[in-house]
Amino acid sequence: MTGGWRPMRAADLDAVVAISDAVHGVFTEPRTVYAERLDLYPEGCRIFEWDGAVAGFLVTHPWHRGAVPKLGAPLGALPAPAEVYYLHDIALLPTARGAGAGAEATAFVRCQARRAGCTEIRLVAVNGADSYWRAQGFDDAAPGETGPYGPGSYLMRCLV
């Protein structure tokens, strides 16, 4: 089995939504959100292919230190200058897990954050992913508080 990350294209958006629906459950987002992120910051959007099929995606972009983007809502524009680099979404189908894709994605995000001039990466972990992100060096940005997407979500951060 072979796979790897590549830049996301508009033709990938149907697969992105299908993977989001399968992996994120109630935290999934509409196609318009992914299309806007791709339009606003294509250099932060990636696709993971596994055995010739789209098996995962990554959406990242510069952001500000204030509130995280609302679930399912468009951004309108990216802040300039940005204060943090935001890992908006990552999802891998079960068939692609354990292949090192998460570690490769994390390394890519760190590199993109440095290129954007950011010294901190933020994300919202859902569906139990907080333990994975802690293992990647992230910690709670607001310890003891309910995450921005409600119970079971965690605002996390790490320094680049």
Task: Summarize pLDDT for 3-17 with one digit per residue, the tens.
Answer: 899 999 999 999 999
pLDDT on residue 97 = 87
Is residue 146 situated within a structural domain?
no
How many structural domains compose the chain?
1
Does some domain include residue 100?
Answer: yes
Q: Whole domain around residue 54: which residue ranges? A: 3-120
Burial group, residue 123, by CB count within 10 angstroms (0-12, 13-18, 19+): buried
Domain of 17, CATH number, reads 3.40.630.30
Asked, for residue 14, whether it belongs to a domain, the answer is yes
Instruction: Report pLDDT digits (tens) over 37-78.
Output: 999 999 999 999 999 999 999 999 999 988 899 999 999 999
In three-state secondary structure terms, 19 is helix
Confirm whether 106 is domain-assigned: yes
What is residue 103's three-state secondary structure? helix
Give the pLDDT confidence of 104-160 residue by residue, as tens digits: 999 999 999 999 999 999 999 988 899 999 999 999 998 878 888 888 899 999 999
Whether 1 has a pLDDT exceeding 80, the answer reads no
Q: Which two tokens stand for residue 89?
A: 């979404």
**Mean pLDDT across the stretch 69-92?**
94
